[in-house]
């Protein structure tokens, strides 16, 4: 009798623990399948950056990759790992690190879909000898990845030691973001003659983040400087670190220099800006993917009230504001503006719902819309921008004539394709990706 009682107790306790657990597992699997099907339906499954490829013949379904992914990109779908939030993948690579059977490799595109990313080899050298691409332009969205690429590219430049004339530089680095600055440190460490050309200011894409935006990174080793130990840092603090590094090591950076052309002449590369020409053996493109802000092409977009980035949300109070776009930058700007006194903020987004947001931003934007602090027009597009209003059309051909003081457009950036074409750099194609994945 006592044994039976013990057995029944064990069964009850097991049920109390196991049933909720299996219900939770089933719910997670169901949610993952729903997200996977939705992403396929909306055409947003394939990430635009470095992302995991799964060898399902080797995969044992342990879900280690799912648990370790900090952006919640992966899920178990019908018993196998899959990308369920592809647009959120930023190429951490942690999934490949933890896979116990080596069933995950990192790559770009799919056998059926090439990506809008320049082609380069394992040393980050493009099809044009002596021209390298690193950082965001090459599909890397993380500071750690950008720094690693910059250092490896310079190591290859140093080892190649291509012939140059006496007054030529060893390398011209285009862009002073994390990738370009890491490359400059590596070049200085290896006693290479170099210059960094930056069309704006030191910091790169970080400059375009809203004030106090939290930048997430991982500890990374910088040449000469040592380890960047923080894992969470504000935009201002990170920029302060970069400025400290530039000053301490006297990095050769020239700002206000937009590169107009790069071409080979007489066995050297000629890099031209609007005001200068640089002769070099190698060129390292550390440009962001933003390039020039993508415009809407509507009447009134040239008005002074139209802007493409937000720096100080606190400067805008008691205003009617339209934010165009549905990515993290647009939503963060809208939330920042809606947090200021008296602002009436509306978001116009061309899709039926937000599909590319970090979870924190998803929660925040829902909180703001539910409380009435923020209005969102889905399936909408701007038709015209007027001095004191903006005309927006939403689903059902409904036209909204909104009172307006400022318009912030976050429609992404256009790749510097003209510069790449002038250089003769190839883009990744369907054929190239098919071979890479098959290998």
Mean pLDDT for 198-220 is: 70
3-state secondary structure of 240: helix
Residue 115 maps to a domain: no
How many C-beta atoms lie closer than 10 Å to residue 109's C-beta? 24
pLDDT at 430: 39
Is the pLDDT assigned to residue 339 strictly greater than 60? Answer: yes
Predicted confidence band of residue 435 (pLDDT cuts 50, 70, 90)? very low
Report pLDDT digits (tens) over 1-38.
Answer: 566 667 666 666 666 666 666 566 566 656 655 655 55
**CB-based contacts of 386: which residues, under 8 Å, 6+ apart?**
300, 404
Residue 390 maps to a domain: yes
Higher-confidence position of 140 and 375:
375
Mean pLDDT for 381-400 is: 93
Domain CATH for 145: 3.50.50.60
pLDDT at 381: 94
Residue 119 maps to a domain: no
Residue 379 maps to a domain: yes
Predicted confidence band of residue 343 (pLDDT cuts 50, 70, 90)? very high
Furthest CA-CA distance within the chain: 96
Report pLDDT digits (tens) over 305-332.
Answer: 999 888 788 889 999 999 999 988 899 9
Report pLDDT digits (tens) over 86-139.
Answer: 766 766 677 877 887 777 877 655 433 334 678 888 899 999 999 999 987 777
Domain CATH for 82: 3.30.70.20
CB 158 within 8 A of CB 192: yes
pLDDT at 98: 82
Per DSSP, the residues of 158-214 read: HHH-----TT-EEEEEE--SHHHHHHHHHHHHTT--EEEEESS-TTGGGGGSPTTPE
Predicted confidence band of residue 378 (pLDDT cuts 50, 70, 90)? very high
C-alpha–C-alpha distance, residues 360 and 372, integer Å: 19
Give the single-character DSSP code of 37: H
Quickly count helices (H) and strands (E) in the chain. Answer: 10, 25
Residues spanned by the domain of 64: 40-107
Does one domain contain both 201 and 176? yes
Rounded to whole angstroms, what are the CA distances from 129 to 119, 162, 165, 268?
A: 12, 10, 17, 10
Does one domain contain both 225 and 254? yes
Does one domain contain both 163 and 215? yes
Does one domain contain both 422 and 376? no
3-state secondary structure of 14: helix
Does one domain contain both 156 and 287? yes
pLDDT at 240: 87
pLDDT at 431: 38
Q: How many structural domains is the chain composed of?
A: 3
Q: What is the mean pLDDT of the chain?
A: 81
Mean pLDDT for 172-176 is: 93
Q: How many residues does the chain have?
A: 439
Does one domain contain both 59 and 100? yes
Residue 173 maps to a domain: yes
Residue 122 maps to a domain: no
From 9-23, 227-241, 383-397, the region with the lowest mean pLDDT: 9-23
Q: Is the pTM higher than 0.75? A: no
CB 234 within 8 A of CB 214: yes
Report pLDDT digits (tens) over 248-277.
Answer: 999 999 988 889 889 888 888 999 998 999
Q: Work out the percent of the chain whose per-residue pLDDT is above 90.
A: 36
Residue 123 maps to a domain: no
Higher-confidence position of 78 and 348:
348
């Amino acid at each position: 009798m006592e044994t039976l009682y013990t057995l029944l107790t064990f069964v009850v306790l097991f049920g109390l623990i196991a049933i909720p657990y299996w219900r939770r597992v089933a719910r997670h699997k169901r949610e993952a399948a729903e997200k996977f099907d939705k992403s396929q339906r909306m055409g947003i499954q394939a990430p635009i950056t470095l992302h995991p490829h799964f060898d399902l013949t080797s995969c044992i379904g342990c879900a280690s990759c799912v648990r370790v992914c900090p952006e919640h990109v992966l899920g178990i779908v019908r018993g196998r790992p899959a990308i369920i939030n592809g647009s959120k993948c930023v190429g951490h690579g942690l999934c490949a690190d933890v896979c116990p059977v080596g069933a995950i490799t990192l790559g770009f595109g799919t056998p059926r879909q090439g990506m809008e990313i320049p082609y380069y080899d394992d040393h980050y050298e493009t099809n044009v000898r002596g021209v390298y691409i690193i950082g965001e332009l090459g599909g890397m969205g993380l500071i750690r990845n950008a720094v690693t690429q910059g250092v490896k590219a310079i190591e290859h430049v140093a080892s190649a030691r291509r012939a140059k004339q006496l007054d030529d530089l060893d390398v011209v680095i285009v862009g002073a973001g994390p990738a370009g600055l890491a490359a400059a440190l590596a070049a200085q460490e290896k006693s290479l003659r170099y210059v960094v050309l930056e069309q704006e200011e030191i910091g790169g894409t970080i400059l375009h983040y809203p004030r106090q935006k939290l930048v997430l990174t991982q500890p990374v080793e910088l040449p000469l400087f040592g380890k960047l130990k923080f894992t969470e840092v504000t935009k201002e603090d990170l920029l302060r670190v970069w400025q400290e590094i530039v000053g301490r090591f006297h990095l050769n950076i020239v700002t206000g220099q937009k590169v107009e052309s790069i071409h080979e002449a007489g066995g050297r590369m000629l890099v031209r800006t609007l005001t200068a020409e640089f002769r070099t053996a190698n060129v390292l493109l550390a440009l962001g993917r933003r390039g020039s802000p993508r415009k809407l092409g509507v009447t009134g977009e040239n008005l002074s009230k139209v802007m493409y980035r937000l720096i100080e949300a606190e400067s805008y109070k008691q205003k009617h504001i339209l934010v165009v776009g549905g990515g993290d930058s647009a939503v963060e700007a809208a939330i920042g503006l809606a947090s200021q006194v008296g602002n009436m903020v509306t978001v116009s987004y061309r899709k039926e719902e937000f599909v590319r947001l970090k979870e924190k931003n998803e929660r925040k934007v829902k909180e703001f819309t539910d409380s009435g602090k923020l209005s969102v027009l889905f399936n909408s597009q701007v038709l015209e921008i007027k001095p004191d209003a903006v005309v927006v059309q939403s689903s059902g051909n409904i036209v909204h004539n909104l009172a307006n003081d400022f318009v912030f457009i976050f429609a992404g950036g256009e790749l510097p394709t003209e510069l790449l074409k002038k250089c003769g750099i190839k883009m990744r194609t369907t054929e190239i990706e098919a071979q890479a994945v098959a290998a």
